[in-house]
Amino acid sequence: MTRSGEHDARWGIRSLVILSAVSVVALLLLRSVGGPDSIATAPELISSPTTSTPPPSPTSTVPPGTTAAPTTTTSIPAVPPVEALIPVTVDALRRDVAASVGFVLTQQGTGSGVVISEDLLVTNAHVVWPGTTVSLVFLNGATYQGRVIAVDPFVDLAVIDISGLCRKPPPIARGSTADVAVHDSLWVVGYPLPSEFTPEPTVDAGTLIGFSDWEFTGVRWFTVDAPAIGGQSGGAVVDEFGRLVGISTFGSTASLTSIGIDDVLARVDALLEAEEVRGLDPRAVPRGGGRRTLDVSLEGEWDQQLFLGWLPGGVEVTVVGNGVSLAARTIGGEEIASGSGLLEFTPGPVFPVIIAAAGPATNAQLAASLPFVSFEDPDHGKTLAREGMTAGVYDVGHDRDFFYLELTAGETASVTIESAARTHLWVYGPDGALIAEDIDDSGFIRNNASVDFTSITAGRYIVALESSLSTISGYTVVTR
């Protein structure tokens, strides 16, 4: 799974990839049936936090009723001083560094993860969301069901507990982003899924081309001119000596952006300490249950209502709703089918499936052939401060949120969205008419979506935003 580009793969291809990956891991597990490293049940779901001002510290998302995170340190083994180091070879990267990088399999796709201590592996939040467990395969042949113990959507990090793994891979050697500079050579080690669908780590070379800072998170990112390949998310970016300097996160066919390791470890420590964030709105991806008759209430074209179905693969599904634009998507945002008033589709092995209802202001009912449950989004309909910052979360791929902003006549207002996600921003007047719009280039890495406008009449204005990313991501709405 990756944030690379905008998910060009078609539904059928993606389904085949996931199904084949599941089969490969299943075969690997059969070799160790009854062993301590075998994988158990399929992933379940976790909750993810959102915040409002002041800026948040990361928040633990340990599911209720489970034990707390292991109290292990995130300290990565020390390495000799630079003058005593020898530049690493490609063979050493494939043998030694790759030994500390795991293949991560979820219900939604695949990714990579890095062993940072004896009991902990880190990956991207978008790789694991919304699961509470993931299947892991390591270069030494060990397979394991790791437990997701914390998720931070703002920095796109997740922490996996591997304390029960017997054949433990070695923690990776640590470097620092302070030791690398623009034009330095770096290496990317991860598990982009190859054509034969066999978990096999790859090594790609690149050059560091720049740094970016998102002030709200206090995290430094850097970009390498290596392509971001599907499945590489959560992998290791190492310096010329094989020391970890970042966790690969998102990018395009031309570049890969990673989180600096110093900030990764600081965020992981904070997550394990379960630092509390003020103003949290509870949110969770619902599981199970649901109804076949679904009530839809839309305020306007800026509104979107989501329904979630845990659907068996290969069973035809129909959804009927007169006067409503409908789309069926994976939870990562990949479109399966769309239509006005009628959906007919057959889901593949990737589930759950989201039904998105949109359109003009309306009240309607959907009739579905299988049960769905309403996905309540706590970011819908919040009131923004006239001047300030409010944080929210894109809960699913291509999520659309909206907020209210009260203005008097003749006020000049500015709205800026800060996020790692490319964002489409709209502002609607009290009468529902569109008055301002912007689409950013590529999130905070280059610029943010931002509009300036003057209110014509007093009343409640609507600020709507939609992510172009295929997964969970944090954002802030800054009003001035």
Mean pLDDT value across residues 394-417? 94
The answer to whether 25 and 105 have CB atoms below 8 angstroms apart is yes
CA distances 260 to 76, 116, 235, 291, 341, Å, are 14, 14, 12, 45, 47
The terminus-to-terminus CA distance of the chain in angstroms comes to 37
Mean pLDDT of 219-236: 88
State how far the Cα of 99 lies from the Cα of 115, in Å rounded to an integer: 9
Q: Are the C-beta atoms of residues 189 and 235 closer than 8 Å to each other?
A: yes
User: What local confidence, expressed as pLDDT, does residue 292 receive?
Assistant: 94
Calpha distance 1→480 (Å, rounded): 37
| Residue 35's pLDDT band (cuts 50, 70, 90) | very low
Q: Look at 140-144, 259-263, 344-348 and tell me which has the smallest mean pLDDT.
A: 344-348
Find out whether 274 and 241 touch, Cβ atoms under 8 Å.
Answer: no
| DSSP 3-state of 128 | helix
41 or 236, which is more confident: 236
Which pLDDT belongs to residue 57? Answer: 42
The set of residues, in sequence order, having a beta carbon less than 8 Å from that of 16 and lying 6+ positions away, is none
Instruction: Please state the pTM of the whole predicted model.
Output: 0.78
Q: Looking at residue 216, what is its pLDDT?
A: 79
Which of 176-180, 329-333, 362-366, 453-457 is the least confident region?
Answer: 329-333
pLDDT-based confidence at 347, cuts 50/70/90? Answer: confident
Contacts of 179 (CB under 8 A, 6+ apart): 82, 239, 243, 245
**Residue 446 pLDDT grade (very low, low, confident, very high; cuts 50, 70, 90):** low
Alpha carbon distance 476, 480 (integer Å): 13
Q: Looking at the domain covering 11-272, what would its CATH class be?
A: mainly beta
The pLDDT of residue 154 is above 90 = no
Q: Lowest mean pLDDT of 25-39, 117-131, 341-355, name the range.
A: 25-39
Q: What is the mean pLDDT of residues 314-337?
A: 87
- Dihedral of CA atoms 150, 279, 258, 417 in degrees, nearest 10, equals 150
Q: Does 221 or 63 have the greater pLDDT score?
A: 221
Strands 412-419 and 449-454: antiparallel
Asked if the model's pLDDT at residue 381 lies above 60, the reply is yes
Specify which of 54-58, 154-158, 241-245, 418-422 reaches the highest per-range mean pLDDT.
Answer: 241-245
What is the C-alpha to C-alpha distance for residues 351 and 336, in angstroms, rounded to an integer?
Answer: 11
Query: 141 near 167, Cβ under 8 Å?
Result: yes
* Better pLDDT: 194 or 424: 424
When pLDDT is cut at 50, 70 and 90, the band that residue 48 belongs to is very low
Mean pLDDT of the chain: 80
Which of 145-149, 155-159, 381-385, 394-398 is the least confident region? 394-398
pLDDT value at residue 471 = 72
CATH for the 291-375 domain, from 2.30.130.10, 2.60.120.380, 3.40.718.10, 1.10.3720.10: 2.60.120.380
Given CA atoms 100, 233, 377, 369 in this order, what sign does their dihedral have?
negative
> What is the band of 444 on the pLDDT scale with cuts at 50, 70, 90?
low
- State the burial class of residue 77 (Cβ atoms within 10 Å of its Cβ: 0-12, 13-18, 19+): exposed
Class of domain 382-479: mainly beta
Write out the H or E segment, with its range, that includes residue 29.
helix 11-30
Tokens of 166: 């017997």
Question: Does the pLDDT of residue 73 top 60, yes or no?
Answer: no
pLDDT of residue 22: 46
- Report the pLDDT value the prediction gives residue 43, as an integer from 0 to 100: 37
Query: Can you read off the two tokens belonging to residue 126?
Result: 């978008």
Q: Whose CA is closest to 208, among 164, 255, 249, 247? A: 255
What is the model's pLDDT at position 194? 56
The string of pLDDT tens digits covering residues 450-460 is 999 999 999 99
Least confident of 84-93, 163-172, 241-250, 350-359: 350-359
Of residues 87 and 420, the one with the higher pLDDT is 87
Give span(s): CATH 2.60.120.380, the chain.
291-375, 382-479
**CATH 2.40.10.120 segments of the chain:** 11-272
Q: Could you give the C-alpha distances from 252 to 7, 123, 207, 249, in angstroms and in order?
A: 10, 19, 15, 11
